[in-house]
Amino acid sequence: MRARNVALVMTAALLVYLVILADRAILLIATGEALPVLLGIGVLLLPLLGIWIVVATWRSGTKIQRLSRRLDDEGGLPDTSDLPRMPSGRVDRKAADTWFDQRHAELEAEPEDWRTWYRLAYAYDIAGDRKRARETMRKAVELEANAP
C-alpha cells in the first residue's frame, strides 16, 4: 500500500504542475500576439501529453495489480525471498539469471498462459531488464484479458 500512496502523492503533484503549466499557456495565448500565441499553443500541448501519460500509466498499473491479486489468490505469485541478495538488497546477478532461466522454461512449456508471462516479467525485473519486463507484462495483461 505504501508504494500506491507515494504514486498518488506524485500524481497529485504532477497534476498541480500541469494545471499551472496550462494556466501559463492560456496567459500566453490570451496576449493575442503571434509569437506568444504560438508558444502558448506549444506549452498547452505539454499538459495534454502529461495527462495522457498519467492516465495510461495508472490504467496499466491497475491492470497489473489485478493480475497480481489474482495470481496471489491462486498461490502462484513469484517468491524470490530465498534468493541470495547483494548488500544493496538486489538479487544476486547469478541467482537472478538462474531464476530467469527457470521462468523462461515454464513459459516455453505454457506459452499461452498469462501466469507464465507474469512470472517471466518478474524475472526480467529482478534481473534488471526493466524494458523487457514491461513488454512481457503487457503480454501477460493481453493474454489474461483475452482468456476465456
Residue 93 has what pLDDT?
87
Total count of domains within the chain: 2
Tell me which of 18, 40, 74 is where a domain ends. Answer: 74
Residue 1 has what pLDDT?
61
Does some domain include residue 88? no
Does some domain include residue 84? no
Q: Which residue, 61, 48, 60, is CA-closest to 15?
A: 48
What's the pLDDT tens digit per position in 18-36?
A: 999 999 999 999 999 999 9
Q: Are residues 6 and 68 in the same domain?
A: yes
Does some domain include residue 83? no
Residue 117 has what pLDDT?
95
Instruction: Give the domain extent around 52.
Output: 2-74
Instruction: Indicate whether this model's pTM tops 0.85.
Output: no
Residue 108 has what pLDDT?
94
Residues of the chain with pLDDT under 50: none
Q: What is the mean pLDDT of the chain?
A: 91
